[in-house]
Amino acid sequence: MTTLSDFHRDRVRAVLSASPLVPVITLNHPDEALPLCRALVEGGVRVLEITLRTPHGLPAIRQLREALPEVWVGAGTVTGVEQYRAVEAAGAQFVVTPGVTGAILEFGLTSEVPLLPGIATVSELMMGYALGYREFKFFPAAVSGGIAALNAFAGPFGDVTFCPTGGVRRNTAKDYLALPNVAAVGGTWLTPKEAVAAKNWGAITEEVRGSLQDL
């Protein structure tokens, strides 16, 4: 049986160690991508997860890879193999899924772009674990048990590391990151809708700086 290569695990670990905070970015207008992400980077993040929740995600990945070579640019909300192929072609440096399917897990084994699979249960974790995955997104974290669930996972899966996303807030990020099996946390609080709508990029930079200082 094919299992995950050391190359893929090393790349995912590099992403998760690059920044304790991973902004989960949904773009409602193509012109938002560059100023928004520059504001995030100025604040101190080094990993950008661009979701495919709108049609602007894919072209933004191409744009950001060229404009911001010093940071990791990845694709989130990837739900199928065809989307996975599309973000590969766009230049994404990592892929994040909200959940797992056998097809996505298998595709991730041989893709040039490493996969951080999303799980919410032990059974889903075991699907990925059997193929060699040891780094997972925990989503939706807050409604799936939060810190208590991650502590429970650590018992039978002491070699697994997580990036919790979904319901994580500025005032709870520090508590998640205090867990030994959490490498980074993701969230949308770093890109407040009001600030994005007003193009108040300075407010976003300050939100990132403040959130990092709170850790």
* Helices and strands, number each (H, E), in the chain: 10, 9
Q: How far apart are CA 42 and CA 156, in angstroms?
A: 39
Distances (CA, A) of 162 to 69, 81, 91, 151: 25, 22, 24, 11
**DSSP alpha helix (H) spans, 23-101:** 33-43, 57-67, 81-90
3-state helix, strand, coil in the chain (%, to 5): 50, 15, 35
In the block, tokens 């970015």 appear at 25
Residues labelled as active-site residues: 49, 137
In the block, tokens 């304790």 appear at 20
Q: How far apart are CA 115 and CA 65, in angstroms?
A: 18
